[in-house]
Structure 1
Amino acid sequence: MKLQCDVEVVSRMLPTFGMKSRGKGARGLLSIGKHLDKTSQRSQVYMMICTAKDKTGSKYKLKDNIEKFFTWFVEEGKATVRLKEPAVDICLSKADANSLKNFLCAARLADRGSEAGSLPLSTLTPVRARDVQQPKKKLTIVSKKDYPLTSTFPYSLEQLQVSYCRLARVDMRMLSLKALRKLDLSNNHIKKLPATIGDLGCLSELVLHSNHLESFSEALCLSTLQQTLQLLDLSQNRLQSLPAQFCQLRELVNLKLDDNKLLSLPFHLGRLNKLRFLSAAHNQLTVLPGDFRKLRLENLDLFGNPFVQSNPLDLSSQLTFPVSLQELASRAVANLRISYGPHLIPAHLCRDLELAKMCYCGRFCVSFYIKMAVKMNLHQVSHTVVLVDDMGGTDAPVQQHFCSLSCYCEFLDVSLRRQIKERYERDA
């Protein structure tokens, strides 16, 4: 049984001499195995600790010699083993949690005097320098010939880049790297993302540009990425849409969607209130969602999209007269902010309410409305705007919804008066 971790051996006699431990562990390799006791001439089970300064190792007898285990933080890879003789505490940290549990279990069995045959023993031999090196935190692979096929990725990795390796799928070995903060899988052939990427509880940067992605699953949007993901690069893929749940990734600061086939942006994009950098150049966007007005960005790039020219008379109407009772009830729930859920109302009504549209008058409409595109200067939502077209414009069409014909007519009236005023001021 072997364990790689940071280890510090602290003598409990130090306070007696007015001394303190240095409080810093060294990278080491711990082994449990049999060793010949020269005093009794019998083989007993020992724990051996090897470090870079002591490659031959120090041995500690285990049978009837462990006073106590301290395992409150074992899930964080930390534990302490208190020995009776010598009076030392062996402090372990930065260990793999599962390996640490197995090691402590073997040490407990050795302390109780279990038969050697029932213990996973190792040979107690001096270690090589590479066995006691500090754990690797960053790994970059940019060639298929360098990709590990038989060995595993170091569990301690915090940054992993695997590019130009022609990966057709995400290697499941990467998804066991619980300390991973940045995962860069750019320039591969990945078509689909596994939902288990959402189990990487520390992941703050996910780079997937230049792949063959055709979708971004709802499961990822509802995973722990909601609390951790700050940068997401999906540029140069084959995405045509993003799920409505995409806007649950509310920690996003930087979002890159360039060079895809997106026909629209997520309906509730404005809920990403921490978003500061957004690029969606060279897609198939014709109009922006109404929620886009809520964004507060530092940099915005929408160049190369076939935006439509806004025309107040070019509208799409889904109004019926009279308005249905279901629509009236749904509007009341949205306007009064009444809580709802699938345990209270049917799931399809919940989905409709999630996509409730705000009218020009400030009230909500759900399934029955008039819709049109309204021109908006993008400087209203972003400090820096990359030109929308080759003509130097920074205007783009944004969806506007109306809950009734009277709201639509009022908007036309105000819009017409504004146009007359602007034309008069320009001519003057």
Structure 2
Amino acid sequence: MRLPCEVSVSSRLLPSAGLRGPGRAARALLSLGRPAGGAGGGGVWLLVSTARDRPGTKYQLRENIEQLFTRFVEEGKATIRLKEPAVDVCLSKANASLLKTFLSAVKLANSGTHEENLPLSPLVPPKASEVEKPKTKMMITSRKEYPLTRNFPYSLEHLQASYCKLARVDMRMLCLKSLRKLDLSHNCIKKLPATVGDLVCLQELNLHNNHLEGFNAALCGSTLRKSLQSLDLSQNKIKALPAQFCQLQGLTHLRLDDNELIRLPFKIGQLKQLRFLSAARNKLPFLPDDFAKLSLENLDLFGNPFEQARPLVPDIQLEIPLTLLELSARATINFRIPYGCHILPSHLCNDLDMSKTCQCGHACLSCFIQTTVTMNLHSVAHTVVLVDNMGGTEAPALRYFCSLTCYSQFLDRHLQSVR
């Protein structure tokens, strides 16, 4: 039986001799077995091998374990305290399930019972690859470098596979549970599988310069909802992002440049952690009403065909009297009544999720007055890239009103401000 992990061996006699303990833990391979030819007095022995000392150090286990410390075994940590020599073998960064099995075997070896049932390994020096530090970063920048016949190292935390002409996300990448940064820029990927959401540690995802036409809504409700911090979707063919996109609450950096976006996510103001937003050279005619809730450090909207704001030319979609559906929907949102697909039909839940907010703070669903007003982008961002070549930093933004009264009050304030 073998267990790869990190190990530090400390002598309990060092403090009494005034000596310092061991340094940092080293990558090691632990083996349980019997010495060749029956040397060492029989019984099961523990072999600790590292990259610097591949032959390793052997420790007899039969009736030689003073105590096992297993409080943090679920975190891949444990300590084997031996009687002779008086050392502590401290294990860390081990697979939790493998560590439990290994410690169970160590207990049996100590008692000397059922040794014939133990899955023992030959006590021989391991290969260099077995004790080397796990590879955490891999950079692939051409198709000829791309591994076709071997798997990616499972220990990878940063993987770049650019300029490889990939038409889809390689399913082998989705087994890399420690992956924090995935760079698939400059490929030919058209669609993201929902299984990308299985990368529970993923913080940065770079899909710059691909052929994406959308963003999988299922990813927005996956573990990426909390883990993903940086997303680069620039230079693709995306026309719109799903309403669920704003569930990615951990986003701090978002790049959407050089797409075909005709609108930004309706509830973009829910991205409370967002600090850097770039959506230059798209087809945005105006910004969503929720845009005003953002608090950015840097904003780039250059090269969008923004329309002229027309606050005095409203789009009136009011029904008087209001329908029962509209009244009940407004009451549900205004009074914060809980709802869900276990209570209401899914299409009604979707409608409630997309409700508008009037300037008075009340909600409206399908009965409202809509207009566009001029927004100074410095009100939502510290640094603003010029919107056009004329030096402007303003853009049109949608505004909604739940009634004629609210719209009339807005008009009064607007006309007073332009006098």
For the criterion TM > 0.5, the same-fold answer is yes
> Cα 1:78–1:145, aligned 2, differ >3 Å: closer, same or farther?
farther
Post-superposition Cα deviations, 1:85-142, rounded to whole Å, max 9, x if no partner, equal 44433211122334434444554555554465x5444332224444333232222111
> Cα 1:166–1:286, aligned 2, differ >3 Å: closer, same or farther?
same
Counterpart for residue 407 of structure 1: 406
Alignment of 1:27-42 (within 5 A): 27-35=27-35, 36-38=37-39, 40=41
Alignment of 1:6-405 (within 5 A): 6-14=6-14, 17=17, 21-22=21-22, 24-35=24-35, 36-38=37-39, 40=41, 44-63=43-62, 65-108=64-107, 110-111=109-110, 113-114=113-114, 116=116, 118-405=117-404
Q: State whether residues 8 and 22 of structure 2, in contact with CA within 8 Å, keep that contact through their aligned partners in structure 1.
A: no
**Structure 2: distance between partners of 1:151 and 1:115:** 36
Q: State whether residues 32 and 47 of structure 1, in contact with CA within 8 Å, keep that contact through their aligned partners in structure 2.
A: yes
Q: State whether residues 231 and 252 of structure 1, in contact with CA within 8 Å, keep that contact through their aligned partners in structure 2.
A: yes
Q: State whether residues 32 and 45 of structure 1, in contact with CA within 8 Å, keep that contact through their aligned partners in structure 2.
A: yes
More displaced 10-residue stretch of structure 1: 233-242 or 121-130:
121-130
Deviation at 1:339, TM superposition (A): 3.3
Post-superposition Cα deviations, 1:187-232, rounded to whole Å, max 9, x if no partner, equal 1222222333333333221111112222222222122223222211
State the SS of the aligned residue for 1:232. strand
**Structure 2: distance between partners of 1:108 and 1:297:** 57
Match of 1:381, as an amino acid?
V
Q: State whether residues 276 and 297 of structure 1, in contact with CA within 8 Å, keep that contact through their aligned partners in structure 2.
A: yes
Counterpart for residue 3 of structure 1: 3
**Structure 2: distance between partners of 1:228 and 1:384:** 26
Match of 1:408, as an amino acid?
Y
Deviation at 1:311, TM superposition (A): 1.8
TM-score with structure 2 length normalisation? 0.89
TM-score with structure 1 length normalisation? 0.88
Unpaired runs of 5+ residues, structure 1, are 422-428
Post-superposition Cα deviations, 1:374-406, rounded to whole Å, max 9, x if no partner, equal 221212211222222233322211111111123
Unpaired runs of 5+ residues, structure 2, are none
**Structure 1: distance between partners of 2:99 and 2:378:** 55
How many residues get paired? 417
Deviation at 1:301, TM superposition (A): 1.0
> Cα 1:98–1:197, aligned 2, differ >3 Å: closer, same or farther?
farther
Q: How large is the Cα RMSD of the aligned pairs?
A: 2.6
**Structure 1: distance between partners of 2:40 and 2:123:** 18
Match of 1:147, as an amino acid?
Y
Q: State whether residues 96 and 155 of structure 1, in contact with CA within 8 Å, keep that contact through their aligned partners in structure 2.
A: no
More displaced 10-residue stretch of structure 1: 254-263 or 137-146:
137-146
Counterpart for residue 425 of structure 1: none
**Structure 2: distance between partners of 1:284 and 1:57:** 64
> Cα 1:141–1:262, aligned 2, differ >3 Å: closer, same or farther?
same
Q: State whether residues 28 and 50 of structure 2, in contact with CA within 8 Å, keep that contact through their aligned partners in structure 1.
A: yes
Q: State whether residues 226 and 249 of structure 2, in contact with CA within 8 Å, keep that contact through their aligned partners in structure 1.
A: yes
> Cα 1:109–1:163, aligned 2, differ >3 Å: closer, same or farther?
farther
**Structure 1: distance between partners of 2:319 and 2:158:** 55
Q: State whether residues 9 and 88 of structure 1, in contact with CA within 8 Å, keep that contact through their aligned partners in structure 2.
A: yes
**Structure 1: distance between partners of 2:215 and 2:394:** 29
Counterpart for residue 424 of structure 1: none
**Structure 2: distance between partners of 1:262 and 1:69:** 60
Q: State whether residues 177 and 199 of structure 2, in contact with CA within 8 Å, keep that contact through their aligned partners in structure 1.
A: yes
State the SS of the aligned residue for 2:34. strand
State the SS of the aligned residue for 1:416. helix
**Structure 2: distance between partners of 1:224 and 1:204:** 10
Deviation at 1:170, TM superposition (A): 2.3
Deviation at 1:298, TM superposition (A): 1.6
Match of 1:57, as an amino acid?
G
**Structure 1: distance between partners of 2:104 and 2:207:** 41
More displaced 10-residue stretch of structure 1: 404-413 or 51-60:
404-413
Deviation at 1:308, TM superposition (A): 1.8
Match of 2:9, as an amino acid?
V
Q: Percent identity?
A: 59
> Cα 1:128–1:369, aligned 2, differ >3 Å: closer, same or farther?
same
Match of 1:3, as an amino acid?
L
> Cα 1:216–1:98, aligned 2, differ >3 Å: closer, same or farther?
farther
**Structure 2: distance between partners of 1:28 and 1:319:** 71
Post-superposition Cα deviations, 1:269-293, rounded to whole Å, max 9, x if no partner, equal 1111221110011222111110001
